[in-house]
Chain A
Amino acid sequence: MAFLTNFYVFLFYFAAFVLVAGLARKIIQYARTPAPLKIPTTPAPTTGRGVVFRMMREVVLFESLFRGNKWTWIFGWMFHFGLLLVTLRHLRYFIEPVWFPIQLVQPFGIYGGIAMVVGLAGLWARRFLVDRVKYITSTSDHLILGLLVAIGCTGLLMKFVFHVDVVEIKHFFQGLYSYDIEPLPADPLLLLHLFLVAMLMIIFPYSKLLHAPGLFFSPTRNQVDNPREQRHIAPWARKLERS
């Protein structure tokens, strides 16, 4: 038992490190790469405030996807919004005392879990049923969907069928903050659930999951449409002017 607990302690420290360091590395890389030309997809906002609003619509409502494909939008939005609720619900394991809004969100987190799995199932089905989407799907796309579905299903099973001791789980994670190792319940479903979550954290900075930070750096979405009013020039392009 001690071995299992120690393994999971190590796994989560490692996964958290990879997630944070890997994402930080990518975000710094994106931020430091210049965008030498103004390329917003127009019509585009002409003010910074307008860009914030455009970006919010993309992040919250998936506006472009809505215009692009209704089925993908429904399933994709369902999955992401479900995932958000589930994540909020899970915050109760990581904070003490549990904030009031997080207490309020608890029941919705369960619906979120269901929505998440249904959404994923819809997205996965498209990869088999639509010949165009089938063509562009690679093994890793199936694996990531499988991973997320497995995380969702193991979580729902623990909620509805095989209950686990949530208090002990909370102690385990609270202990990680202070290197204070508390035993993890030896429940196979829980161990699987946590293992898969750790895997997700580890692959995050090395896979297409980078779409999350990527969106914020997309020049076609985050640039202000004001090229005539304001001269935009990248440092490497300015060097050309001196020669």
Chain B
Amino acid sequence: MAKATFEVPELTQYTEVPSVTPGAMAHSAPFKSKEDFQTPLGFPGELVDDWQTKAIDKMGELLGKYRSLRVYMDACVKCGACTDKCHYFLGTGDPKNMPVARQDLMRKVYRRYFTLSGKLFPKLVGAEDFTQDVLDDWYSYFHQCSQCRRCSVFCPYGIDTAEISMAAREIMDSIGVGQKYCNEIIGKVYKIGNNLGLPGPALIDTLEGLEEDVYDDTGVKVRYPIDEEGAEILLVTPSADFFAEPHVDGLIGYGKVFHEAGVSWTLSTHASEAANFGMFIGSYDNMRRVAQRIREAAIKLKVKRIVFGECGHAWRVAYSFLNTLAGPWDFLDPRYPVPQHICEFTYELIRQGKLNLDKSENDDKVLTYHDSCNVARASRMGNTPGGQFEIPRAIIRATCNNFYDMDEDTIRDRTFCCGGGGGLLTDDLMELRVKGAKPRLDALNNVIQEKGVTHMAAICAICKSQFTKVLPYYGLEMDQIVSVHQLVSNAIVLTPGPDDDEDEDDDEPDLDGPNEEEETDEAA
């Protein structure tokens, strides 16, 4: 058990809806951003004079720019369908973590300044002046929303709290109240190229190391190229894939898949980050600036296709927004969607029988799959709606013998957030992260108890980091979370290249036993 300064809830097999405990998480707030992190993003360094007027003006501007915000401020009838849907409410019982109550923090200000009823009868309709207390509440509770959109699935009007917390964060940034974690990271992307601040030489070094490791492991030379002009595919992946566990095992997997596909590919030091934290802070300008790096890298490296690695919110920005933010992509190969997800790429190869997979390599595990929230509810894979659920599962089924889904109410578009998304993956929010993970881990606990599940696979860098950190609080092991392409990596039987040591390769299959079947597969 990891040491905690707060009470870690007891895991159950089915999450019970807690009773309302006002103020339970009122103390939770992330570190505030400093001037150094604010200015590079175009935000004031500290709380501006006359902040109230400026915030209201900003709100007015956003109401005119975003139909979502405009409609969602008006449409809520307080039916309560969302009240038991947020993992942060389920984990903490704080009523302001009910999506409608979180929205109301903004709605009460909206009503006061932008509606007739709120101007005339504020008490009656729950309208309030934008005071320092309200601002403090905003800072606390709009940083207790991971923008996972689970509430929007169940809302009869599709009200998406993510849209509202993004707007709230943008309003706060515009008056100088920023969150350190997100804003510092965006600055690093501008300055160095990725969230972790890994400079080019470090990346090159890491990738060389990976090539050696894979060669030692398999006897096959698999390349992990970076900044190679003229490659067919530009791979954009979260920077955690270069260092963190189990992320890096996923990156190893992508390389093996590309190797088997026989296509040339490259990473880019300039666009060495798939994540786009501009979305978390609701800033179109910053999101666009971060996205433009990918366009620049694609042009510079003269690639034909863009493929994204395993990352959740990043895939949302890539799939749903990239064409808007950094398109049009008319200079790329029109036969492929822009961008593609690595899972789409791998699945297509599996479908065509081009990958030789030995499922038994994953027989030491019993798998379940965590649908990452933004992949599930804000994107798609493949050509049909819901491909984002089926394609990763198809890959797992093709690479593993033992797979069980968690409770239907907690997967696919009803999946729970890991508890660390939306710019909350920071140590200063540890209590929130641990408690917010409970609904997902309850469902995991259920399949552990009932089906003997040992590992949970995911396709999001944030999910992987979050679970690695949070699982030990609940008495589970940090390595129980794995990358989907880690499973691919384990199962894939590599084809030796011309410059691979023949002898060594011949040895290995002999030790493993009969190899004829695999060879016929390959020929097919």
Contact = CB atoms under 8 A, between A and B. Distances in A.
Interface of A: 26, 29-30, 33-39, 41-46, 58, 62, 64-65, 67-69, 72, 76, 123, 126, 130-133, 135-141, 143, 203, 206-208, 210-211, 214-215, 217-221, 225, 227-234, 236-237, 240
A221 B149 CA distance: 13
A34 B67 CA distance: 6
Contact of B338 (A29, A219, A228, A234): A228
B66 A35 contact: yes
Contacts of B160: 39, 41, 220
Task: Identify the 8 closest CB pairs spanning chains A and B, nearest first.
Answer: A68-B154, A214-B75, A68-B81, A43-B385, A220-B158, A138-B126, A133-B80, A132-B83
Interface stretch (B30-38, B255-263, B321-329, B420-428): B321-329
B159 interface: yes
A29 B66 CA distance: 11
Given A38-B324, A42-B378, A206-B115, 13 more contacts: A33-B66, A33-B67, A41-B378, A41-B413, A58-B158, A64-B153, A64-B154, A69-B80, A69-B81, A136-B80, A136-B101, A214-B74, A218-B72
A139 B83 contact: no
Nearest to B64: A33
B134 interface: no
Contacts of A68: 81-82, 85, 153-156
A42 B115 contact: no
B4 interface: no
Interface in B126-161: 126, 149, 152-160
Contacts of B126: 138-140
B80 A218 contact: no
B288 interface: yes
B213 interface: no
Given A29-B70, A41-B153, A69-B154, A208 B81 contact: no
A136 B77 CA distance: 10
Contact of A36 (B154, B284, B327, B383): B284
A64 B83 contact: no
B440 interface: no
Contact of A217 (B67, B83, B123, B386): B67
B440 to A, nearest CB: 19
B98 interface: yes
A72 B81 CA distance: 7
B65 A33 contact: yes
A90 to B, nearest CB: 23
Contacts of A141: 77-78
Contact of A208 (B75, B163, B378, B413): B75
Nearest to A137: B78
Contacts of A46: 383-385
Contacts of A123: 79
Contacts of B48: none
A58 B70 contact: no
A231 B328 contact: yes
27 contacts: A30-B67, A35-B68, A38-B321, A41-B378, A42-B378, A42-B388, A43-B380, A68-B81, A69-B79, A72-B79, A72-B81, A130-B83, A131-B20, A132-B20, A135-B22, A135-B95, A136-B100, A140-B117, A140-B126, A208-B78, A219-B71, A220-B149, A231-B323, A232-B324, A237-B284, A240-B285, A240-B288
Nearest to A133: B80
Contact of B71 (A131, A132, A214): A214
B389 to A, nearest CB: 8
Interface string B52-74: 00000000000111111011101
B379 interface: yes
**Most chain A C-beta atoms within 10 Å of own C-beta, residue among B116, B117, B379:** B379
Nearest to B21: A131
Contacts of B83: 130, 132-133, 136
Contacts of B337: 228-229
Nearest to A209: B77
A132 B74 contact: no
Given A139-B123, A141-B78, A210-B74, A219 B68 contact: yes
Contact of B98 (A35, A135, A230): A135
B388 A43 contact: yes
A37 B288 CA distance: 12
B95 to A, nearest CB: 5
A65 B319 contact: no
A183 to B, nearest CB: 34
Contacts of B85: 68
Given A37-B321, A43-B386, A138 B125 contact: yes
A225 B22 CA distance: 39
A206 B71 contact: no
B343 to A, nearest CB: 15
B321 to A, nearest CB: 6
